[in-house]
Amino acid sequence: MSEEPSLIMIQFLAWVADRPRNYAQTMDAWRTSCPRLSVWEDAIIESLVRIESNANRTVRLTKRGSAMLEQTRRQTAAETENQTPRIKVQAKTPVVAHCAAF
């Protein structure tokens, strides 16, 4: 986990974590023939997900996958908190009133 995960990897891990998925659903949603978008294969190789040996062949995050997703969520939350608040400009007179005057 030394490298920062790609956005598509985080999206994949969040998708798996969202609710129980089986192997067929995962393949339907994430299989690709593009070698540049090998998120499913990369997640298996990096031990981020596992396929359980039950009747459904449930796909679940491993401890490593859960940790990666949680770390990314914490970093995102911290970055959001540290952003400079945007200044909200409020018009004194509603736009509708301006339009009606013309």
- 23-39 pLDDT, tens digit per residue, is 999 988 888 777 777 89
Q: Measured at the alpha carbon of residue 41, what is the angle toward residues 35 and 45, in degrees to the nearest 5?
A: 125
**C-beta of residue 66 within 8 angstroms of C-beta of residue 1:** no
Instruction: Tell me how many domains the chain contains.
Output: 1
CA 20 to chain centre: 16
CATH number at residue 73: 1.10.10.10
The answer to whether residue 68 sits within a structural domain is yes
Domain around 36: 7-82
The answer to whether residue 2 sits within a structural domain is no
Give the tokens for residue 92: 């004194």
26: phi then psi, degrees, rounded to nearest 5:
-65, -45
pLDDT tens, 65-86?
Answer: 999 999 999 988 888 777 666 6
Sequence-ordered alpha helix ranges (H) in 31-92: 39-45, 63-82
The model scores a pTM over 0.85 = no
